[in-house]
Structure 1
Amino acid sequence: FRPETGQEAQFLASLIEYSIAQGASDLHLLPRHDGSHVKIRVNGELLSRSEPIGSLELHKYLVNRIKVLCSMDITARCKPQEGSFSVPAQEFCCSVRVSLMPTVQGEKAVLRFMGNSKLLSLEQLGFDTETLARLRETADSGEGAIVFVGATGSGKSTSMYALLKKLASSNLSLVSVEDPVELYLPEISQTSVDERAGLDYPTCLRSVLRQDPDVIMLGEIRDEVSAKMAFQAALTGHLLMTTVHARDVREAFLRVFGLGVDAVSLSQSLKMVIAQRLVPKLCERCKVVDLQESNILDFECYKPVGCVICDYTGFSGQALVCESLVLTPDLRESLAISKGEMPSAERLEDSSAYIPYSRGIQSLLRQGVIEKAACL
């Protein structure tokens, strides 16, 4: 990863190591007319500098070095390419997923850092007490599907890994199918999807079901075949955890129905849906009381300022806010006869099994963890 010679290669290694040290989830290398520009995404915010880090010639070298690390075709500059490599660190090995896209100025490279932190437990993730208790109870049942939803980078995979870590001590057969494997766990049989080699989600899932699994983690449901097979597995005595891209619990039903899963199968297999968001946490060192908002809300809340500890952003880290729904017998019955329609907002709000986003946001606001603007 870091060669002994070659200033450009060493510069790329330093840039990647700096991004990891800052807790960045993504590193962007963008070619522009005035040179190569860099952006990093920290705490969900894309940070950039106005000055280029070097010339377009340097940018070409950096991209070629990335291609070498990923074993990509160096000569292919006019087509998208994807790959991955690993960065060794003191306490962990960070996996880097790379996407290259040709632009009019050259190839843009986006590096996503995965597994660049220690594996957290369920208790450390920040779930509210009630959601955490329901998640444990659902997982301990040993069958059915738990679906995590949210935008890219909302912590869905982190939550599933934490749940796998909890189940790993229960003498169970745990397997995962991911694209790619983001964090390596010694207690779990992990398979990384490789569509170029014919190892896609449906193929992996068919084989996994013959491996005597108790718990199946499916990185993402993307197609109709995988969706039907996954929820069928949840009906036959397996615990399934997976993700879909949706903004909230209601939209998750619409997404699964759109993948071809019928209402009856879903009502019988689905146990719990958790929608996640990550919001910036106020820096404990420099946050101050927001007098205007405190007077309006009638309780003490805070706003960001900025200091050397938080790099003058006013924020340090991210807090988890979630919405959750446990499928009760009444909800299962109404879902089975819904003909593929998502539950109404009124029906969810009337259910004691539903916890809205607003409850968690209000709790974090009262604790002084987030600012009022994060509630919008």
Structure 2
Amino acid sequence: MATGLRAQQALINLKADSAVEMVATLVQRAVETRATDIHLEPRRNGYQIRYRVDGFLYIVAEIDENMGREIVSRIKILADMDITERRLPQDGHFRFSTPTAEYDMRIATVPTHFGERMEIRLAEGGKVFSSVEDLGMSEADVEIVNSFVANPHGIVLATGPVGSGKTSTLYSCISRIDRDSVNVMTIEDPIEYIIPGANQIEVNYRVDFDFVNGLRAILRQDPNVILVGEIRDEETARIAIRAGMTGMLVFSTLHANHAVGAVTTLFNFNISRFLIANALVGAMAQRLVRKVCPECQASVKPNDAAARALGVKKEQMKNWNMVRGEGCEECFFTGYRGRTGIFEIFQVTPEIRTLIMNGATEAELQAETQAQGMTSLRKSGMEKVKSGMTTVEEVVRVLGQ
């Protein structure tokens, strides 16, 4: 893994006169580096500060214990948290403004052996969602996803591990819907971004308001389109499937390695094959890969190792536009800047529906979908390498050999 940000000797200078200035510098620099998270971590001899950029954590500062505590206390004040309570986890949030945008800072603390650890999640307020076309899908996949969104009812699922961009993809899908003419409602944990024209609800476990209770409440609000942040259990799955069967279009996420795995996961939640076959419109599996920095990219020649990693012959790669990033100030010496998605779009066709009802295995469903032209995650990643958008190493990192 690239050392990246660690190579910048003076990335952030926190030797300010006050905690107020230190926090402002810390957050402002995080915004400038496109960080999604800030980690303040107590260590034996002080605090370590790390930014998460494009999915990777980088050390950006190491400060003494007193300075670390001052920063933590200042942020707790901003987030309306109890600064005297260091024995229990706490949550809070505050707003941070820059000349170009406003950010919602979500704060979570937890006591550790060396002191109070703090995690800060940065979410840009008023963010304009990427269009489906800009997520990284092929033209054929965009057409299929648009057909999902055009359905009047059913359930559409996004699958993948935590942090793979599932929620952003569903937000992009919902942004295509005319929210003035239909009732769009969401139940989320937490609300990531505000969707103009949608009625968004956040779960609150402290008062026993979870996905199940939230979804039941939504069904009494005359919804047309529902976004369920995640299907985690049998009851949520059952209510979501029933909603999709009774005239509503439901979007949700669940954990499955591949798009076809959505069928297996629903079946493991004790949803009948009949209901799955008739409610499921399709599923989108996805991962995020880092894009090669355009400022420092250089051409590379195909080699045997790269061919083996992607499962192709070296001769097939001779016309590929393969590149890698050399590392520069623009990408903080990582060789990468930004991320894009690789996708596997599973559409429930009449043939697939019949297979599901007849008890087909996941392998049989996978074989049929690929026979119908579905692009696998690996092939999607291969196309990104071929076009010079990412590297073989990134695809292997995300998908394995």
Same fold (TM over 0.5): yes
Using the TM superposition, name which of 138-147 and 92-101 deviates more.
92-101
Distance in 2 of aligned mates of 1:302 and 1:250: 32
Displacement of 1:201 after TM fit?
Answer: 1.4
Distance in 2 of aligned mates of 1:69 and 1:164: 33
Tell me the amino acid that sits aligned with residue 17 of structure 1: Q
Task: Give per-residue Cα distances to partners, 1:8-57, cap 9 Å, x unaligned.
Answer: 133123212221221112111100012110111111121114x51x2222
Match of 2:50 among 36, 39, 44: 39
Aligned to 1:72: 81
Q: CA RMSD in A?
A: 2.3
Distance in 2 of aligned mates of 1:336 and 1:30: 51
Distance in 1 of aligned mates of 2:163 and 2:286: 10
Displacement of 1:136 after TM fit?
Answer: 0.5
Match of 1:280 among 283, 287, 290: 290
Using the TM superposition, name which of 78-87 and 309-318 deviates more.
78-87
Distance in 2 of aligned mates of 1:55 and 1:254: 50
Task: Give per-residue Cα distances to partners, 1:80-112, cap 9 Å, x unaligned.
Answer: 233333323444432222222211001111112
Tell me the amino acid that sits aligned with residue 372 of structure 1: V
Distance in 2 of aligned mates of 1:85 and 1:151: 28
CA contact (8 A) 2:81 2:90 kept: yes
Using the TM superposition, name which of 352-361 and 23-32 deviates more.
352-361
Aligned to 2:389: 369
Displacement of 1:191 after TM fit?
Answer: 1.1
CA contact (8 A) 2:260 2:346 kept: no
Aligned to 1:309: 330
CA contact (8 A) 2:203 2:210 kept: yes
Displacement of 1:254 after TM fit?
Answer: 3.4
Aligned residues: 369
* Large movers: runs of 4+ above 6 Å: none
Displacement of 1:244 after TM fit?
Answer: 1.2
Using the TM superposition, name which of 128-137 and 99-108 deviates more.
99-108
Q: 1:272 to 1:12 in 2, by over 3 A?
A: same
Q: Identity of paired residues, percent?
A: 27
Aligned to 1:58: 67
Match of 2:104 among 95, 113, 133: 95
What TM-score comes out, normalization by structure 1 length? Answer: 0.90
Aligned to 1:8: 19
SS in 1 for 2:176: helix
Distance in 1 of aligned mates of 2:343 and 2:20: 41
Distance in 2 of aligned mates of 1:29 and 1:356: 38
Aligned to 1:237: 247
Do residues 106 (structure 1) and 115 (structure 2) align?
Answer: yes
Displacement of 1:342 after TM fit?
Answer: 3.7
Do residues 268 (structure 1) and 278 (structure 2) align?
Answer: yes
Q: 1:270 to 1:349 in 2, by over 3 A?
A: closer
SS in 2 for 1:249: coil
Distance in 2 of aligned mates of 1:76 and 1:246: 39
Distance in 1 of aligned mates of 2:366 and 2:206: 45
Q: Which runs of 5+ in 2 are unaligned?
A: 1-15, 307-313, 397-401
Do residues 85 (structure 1) and 85 (structure 2) align?
Answer: no
Structure-to-structure mapping, 1:293-332, within 5 angstroms:
293=303, 297-299=317-319, 300-332=321-353
Aligned to 1:347: 367
CA contact (8 A) 2:346 2:369 kept: no
Q: 1:67 to 1:223 in 2, by over 3 A?
A: farther
Distance in 2 of aligned mates of 1:251 and 1:106: 41
Q: 1:197 to 1:305 in 2, by over 3 A?
A: same
SS in 2 for 1:355: coil
Displacement of 1:238 after TM fit?
Answer: 0.5
Q: Which runs of 5+ in 1 are unaligned?
A: none
Structure-to-structure mapping, 1:150-189, within 5 angstroms:
150-168=160-178, 171-189=181-199
Distance in 1 of aligned mates of 2:366 and 2:227: 32
CA contact (8 A) 1:335 1:343 kept: no
CA contact (8 A) 2:160 2:285 kept: yes
CA contact (8 A) 1:264 1:337 kept: no
Displacement of 1:346 after TM fit?
Answer: 5.1
Using the TM superposition, name which of 285-294 and 314-323 deviates more.
285-294
Distance in 2 of aligned mates of 1:214 and 1:346: 31
Q: 1:8 to 1:375 in 2, by over 3 A?
A: same
Q: 1:198 to 1:119 in 2, by over 3 A?
A: same
Aligned to 2:234: 224
Structure-to-structure mapping, 1:129-208, within 5 angstroms:
129-168=139-178, 171-208=181-218
SS in 1 for 2:181: coil
Q: 1:334 to 1:282 in 2, by over 3 A?
A: same
